[in-house]
Chains A and B, each alone.
Chain A
Amino acid sequence: MSIVALATEGSYQTPGVQDFWQPLIGDGAFAITRASVVILLSVALLSWALLAGTKKLTVVPGKGQAATEVTYGFVRNEIGRDIIGSRDFLRFVPFLFTLFVLILLNNLFSITPIIMFPSMGRIGFPAALTLVVFVVYHWIGIQKHGFVGYFKSIVPAGLPIGLIPYIFILELITDLFTRPVTLALRLFGNMFAGHMLLVLLVGGGEYMISHGAFGIKIAGGGSLVMGFVMTVFEILVQVLQAYIFTLLAALYIAGAVADEH
């Protein structure tokens, strides 16, 4: 639809990568951008919410305590215990819970009025989270199996001897390269694409209504309605991505602590 506006007016700026670089103070590598303000805000809000939710613990929980307990219980049981296994999942639950709530809140901020910015739409933030996950699951694996034993354990047992080198190289590429890259890019790509779609639908619709002829104004109204529908759909994607990131982190940790790979 925005192509129509582009053809008739020629001055509409389609949203792109440049919309995600919004420095507030300074410029270059050490600038304080809108994304860093959003993530600092999310950390402050989470600290406050979690402290307030667990300060006065009662047997019959209040609203804040109930919400905290449900979220924690979900991460602990559905992700931690089911994926890592009941033997050694408890060590990792705080880590998984931190990942889940941080990503979830940052994703939901991208459709919260006034804030309206997905900090995970800048590759630096998912990359930093992925780096932590990467170090954790390799560290756990090396701690459990020993350095040589860990690299031995990535090859499944019972292979014919001629196949072992090939499978080893494949598994090594998967462990060291494919897993972290896909983990970071999946979160980044979903947030980036989702936010850009909303900017396109709402911004393009607004432009069509304010600049177009009568028919184009109607198309612009349709674009705004689509923007609303996609906003609702984005909530689903955001919750799902937070869940999937945590699920995959738990799965990689489970692979590292498993006895038999």
Chain B
Amino acid sequence: MSGNIAILGYGLSAIGPGIGIGLIFAAYINGVARQPEARGMLQPIAFLGFALAEALAIFGLALAFVFRS
């Protein structure tokens, strides 16, 4: 079996955003469950946090291919 160690970097870089996205949506679900009328206000905030946390994993993916050579 052959491969490239750069792909492991992507795996590592996905851990943090994975946990972060979980926390963000947990808070979002909690908020909506407690106060359903706040959904419209919470949704953009939740997706914004999701997008910012996800960026790190995407960097990892891009760099995995950059350093693959």
Contact = CB atoms under 8 A, between A and B. Distances in A.
Main secondary structure of the interface of A (DSSP, over half): helix
Interface stretch (A54-62, A211-219, A240-248): A240-248
Contacts of A17: 65
A190 B58 contact: yes
Contacts of B48: 244, 247-248, 251
B55 A182 contact: yes
Interface in B46-64: 47-48, 50-52, 54-55, 58-59, 61-62
Interface in B25-69: 40, 44, 47-48, 50-52, 54-55, 58-59, 61-62, 65
A3 B1 contact: yes
Nearest to B54: A186
A124 B51 CA distance: 20
A248 B51 contact: yes
A104 interface: no
Contacts of A190: 58
A6 B50 CA distance: 35
Contact of B58 (A7, A186, A247, A248): A186
Given A3-B1, A17-B65, A244-B51, A185 B58 contact: yes
Interface in A173-199: 182, 185-186, 188-190, 192-193
A82 B44 contact: yes
Interface of B: 1, 40, 44, 47-48, 50-52, 54-55, 58-59, 61-62, 65
